[in-house]
A = this chain, B = another copy of it.
Amino acid sequence: MASVNTQFSIAVHVMAAIAHHDGVFASEVLARSVNANPVFVKRILVKLSKAKLAKTTVGKSGGYGLARSPKSISLLDIYSAVNPPDAFAIHTYPKRKECIVSSNIKEVMSDVLVGTEEAVHGHLRQTTLADVVSIIRARSG
C-alpha cells in the first residue's frame, strides 16, 4: 500500500550491486551506479547499516560493504530494514458504540492486516540476495 515507496526496490538494487561486485563502495559511487539521488541512496544505506545488513568504514577509502554473506540475507531482511508502509491502512474514524460493525471492524481488519503482512513476509523470506545476484547473472549471460 501503500505504495509509491521505492526504497525497498532501491535497497535491493544497491545491495545486489555490492554483492555482485563484492567490495566496498562509497555511497556516491553506489548512487551513480543506481542512477539515483545521492542523498536518497545515502539515507537508505544508513537504514541498511542500522539493520546490520551493510557494514561501513568511514574516511578515505571507506564506504559500504555487506555485513553478511548474500546467502544469509533475505529480501525480507532488506524489506524490514527500510521499514516500508503496511500493505494497507486501517481507518481511524471514531467508533459508534450503538453499531456492532463499527465497534468491531477495526479489530477484525487488524487481524486481516497481520495475516496479509505475514503473507508478504513469507514470500520475501524465500528469496536471498544471493538468489537475486544469480538471477541477474543468468539473465545477462
Q: In the bound complex, what is the Cα–Cα distance between A66 and B13 (angstroms)?
A: 45
Specify which chain B residues have a CB less than 8 angstroms from the CB of A93 in the assembled complex: 34-36
Is A58 interfacial (CB-CB < 8 Å)? Answer: no
Instruction: Evaluate contact between A99 and B33: CB separation under 8 angstroms.
Output: yes
Instruction: Please report which residues of chain A, range 74-103, place their CB below 8 angstroms from some CB of chain B when the two chains form the complex.
Output: 75, 79, 84-96, 99-103
Tell whether A112 is near chain B: CB-to-CB under 8 Å: yes
- In the complex, which residues of chain B have a beta carbon less than 8 angstroms from the beta carbon of A5? 1-2, 88-89
Report chain B residues within 8 Å CB of A61.
none
Report the 6 A-B pairs with minimum CB-CB distance, sorted nearest first: A4-B89, A100-B140, A6-B91, A119-B123, A35-B93, A2-B4
